């Protein structure tokens, strides 16, 4: 229902008990300001190059801030300098790698084609990146600056607290899945916190996915799943999820990093999914808020499970953004990261609007919505 990205806006400046609270600002952008379609691979790459340079420019600017200034900007009480620097290094590498992919076939006359694609050259291009007033991309550039500064703050807030407060921002081991394992232009749809009651948003979303000839991975909570099973036979619910993949999200939506009963929560929710939805079950566990213990790897390995995180957060649970903003945010992050696991929530209605729009916008672009049964890739 609520994800870790939203946890930190007020968490460390508040003296109240641990709770989920949205970030002070959620990155969103009007994609209509981008003047080109993205209905071909070259067009997707052009838009991708632009988003990569815009985000990298924001990242370079953030490196000029002192720790105190960054801490104040992120509205944090404490800031782990080493964790922030580690993630900045990770992001520079990912951005340069993605830019090289996006620039494979471009020529110097193509927009946002900077020539050399090594990491040092990419950094240099990002530092000086701008779009002149009056350029056909000028309106997009102004909006992109705001989007990427806000989005970077979301990420750096997570980095500043990791690993003291765990999140999807980084992994503890290779057994944890982040979405970065996927190939270029490959994306997996995932949905958390269901199921809703019969006829609710989960059922509506399943109909949308089938109408788009897509499948997805659902991470179910034990309590609502148990309630749903009291409404209908397990065989009927299994038919509802037929063709989908189903993992567990815990017995209830509580942080699994500090909850004394976290292991029991994992075991009970996994067993309930496995026993009632055997044909859709996948041995994946997604911790609520992305929070899990740093030493939990041995437990998950003994259970035959992998921790499934994400690298594209739709923020669809957040009241600060509507369905239109959610879909445009997700498309922008797809252009930026070029592959990954997208986090939605089937208990909310926004994905029902976002998913068909995303598939329509990316048609012909080379984007592949992967079969959930093929994740993780071998």
pLDDT at 19 (0 to 100): 33
pLDDT of 223 over the 80 cut: yes
Average model confidence (pLDDT) across the chain: 93
pLDDT at 21: 47
- Residues contacting 226, CB < 8 A, separation 6+: 272
Separation CA 4–CA 27 (nearest Å): 15
Q: Please say if the pLDDT value at position 266 is more than 80.
A: yes
Instruction: Using pLDDT thresholds of 50, 70 and 90, give the confidence band for residue 13.
Output: very low
Q: How far apart are CA 236 and CA 230, in angstroms?
A: 12
Domains annotated for the chain, with CATH where assigned, are 34-161 (no CATH), 186-374 (3.20.20.370)
What pLDDT does residue 378 have? 85
- Min mean pLDDT across 7-21, 102-116, 222-236 is at 7-21
CB 47 within 8 A of CB 316: no
Q: Return the DSSP state at 5.
A: G
Q: Which residues contact 102 (CB under 8 A, 6 or more apart)?
A: 45, 46, 48, 49, 52, 338
Q: State residue 124's pLDDT score.
A: 95
What pLDDT does 93 receive?
A: 97
Residues 211-216: contacts with CB within 8 Å, 24+ apart?
211/356, 212/355, 212/356, 212/359, 214/189, 214/355, 214/359, 214/369, 215/189, 215/243, 215/244, 215/245, 215/371, 215/372, 215/373, 216/188, 216/189, 216/190, 216/191, 216/244, 216/245, 216/372
Q: Mean per-residue pLDDT for 348-376? A: 98
The residue among 205 and 118 whose pLDDT is bigger is 205
Confidence of residue 115 (pLDDT cuts 50, 70, 90): confident
pLDDT at 15 over 90: no
Distance CA 365, CA 293 (A): 39
pLDDT exceeds cutoff 70 at 11: no
Residue 339 has pLDDT above 50, yes or no: yes
Higher pLDDT, 4 or 172: 172
Q: What's phi and psi for 284, nearest 5 deg?
A: -125, 140
pTM score:
0.94
Strand partners, 308: 177
pLDDT-based confidence at residue 261 (cuts at 50, 70, 90): very high
Say what the pLDDT of residue 5 is: 41
Per DSSP, 168 falls in state T
- Tell me which residue of 74, 223, 217, 285 sits closest to 293, measured CA to CA: 285
User: Which of these ranges, 115-129, 133-147, 186-200, 213-227, has the smallest mean pLDDT?
Assistant: 115-129
d(CA 64, CA 47): 27
pLDDT value of residue 12: 35
Query: What would the pLDDT profile of 21-32 be if each residue is shown by its tens digit?
Result: 456 789 999 999
Interval 33-51: pLDDT, tens: 999 999 999 999 999 999 9
Q: What is the pLDDT of residue 16?
A: 31
Please report the beta strands in the chain, taking only residues with DSSP state E, as ranges in sequence order. Answer: 186-192, 217-220, 245-248, 281-285, 306-307, 312-313, 340-345, 368-369
Look at residue 181 and tell me whether its pLDDT is greater than 60: yes
The C-alpha atoms of residue 23 and residue 340 are separated, in whole angstroms, by 22
């Amino acid at each position: 229902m609520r994800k870790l990205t939203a946890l930190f806006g007020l968490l460390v400046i508040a003296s109240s008990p641990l709770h989920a609270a949205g970030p002070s600002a959620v990155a969103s952008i009007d994609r209509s300001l981008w003047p080109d379609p993205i209905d071909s691979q070259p067009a997707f790459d052009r838009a991708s190059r632009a988003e990569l340079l815009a985000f990298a420019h924001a990242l370079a600017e953030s490196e000029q801030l002192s720790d105190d200034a960054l801490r104040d900007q992120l509205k944090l009480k404490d800031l782990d300098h080493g964790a922030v620097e580690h993630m900045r290094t990770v992001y520079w590498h990912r951005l340069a790698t993605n830019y090289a992919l996006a620039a494979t076939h471009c020529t110097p006359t193509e927009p946002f084609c900077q020539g050399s694609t090594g990491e040092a050259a990419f950094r240099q291009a990002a530092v000086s990146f701008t779009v002149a007033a009056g350029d056909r991309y000028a309106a997009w550039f102004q909006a992109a600056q705001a989007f990427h500064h806000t989005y970077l703050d979301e990420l750096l807030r997570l980095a500043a607290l990791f690993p003291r407060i765990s999140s999807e921002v980084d992994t503890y081991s290779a057994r944890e899945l982040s979405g970065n394992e996927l190939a270029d232009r490959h994306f997996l749809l995932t949905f958390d916190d269901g199921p809703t009651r019969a006829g609710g948003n989960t059922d509506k979303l399943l109909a949308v996915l089938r109408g788009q000839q897509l499948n997805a991975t659902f991470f179910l909570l034990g309590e609502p799943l148990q309630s749903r099973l009291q409404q209908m036979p397990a065989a009927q619910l299994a038919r509802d999820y037929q063709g989908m993949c189903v993992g567990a999200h815990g017995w209830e939506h509580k942080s699994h990093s500090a909850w004394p009963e976290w292991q029991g929560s994992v075991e009970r929710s996994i067993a309930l999914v496995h026993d009632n939805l055997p044909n859709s079950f996948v041995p994946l566990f997604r911790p609520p808020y992305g929070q899990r213990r740093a030493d939990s790897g041995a437990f998950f390995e003994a259970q035959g499970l992998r921790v499934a995180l994400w690298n594209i957060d739709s923020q669809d649970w957040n009241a600060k953004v509507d369905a239109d903003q959610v879909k445009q945010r997700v498309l922008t992050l797809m252009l930026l990261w070029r592959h990954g696991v997208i986090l939605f929530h089937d208990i909310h209605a926004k994905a029902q609007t976002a998913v068909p729009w995303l598939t329509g916008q990316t048609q012909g672009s080379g984007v592949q919505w992967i079969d959930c049964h093929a994740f993780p890739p071998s």
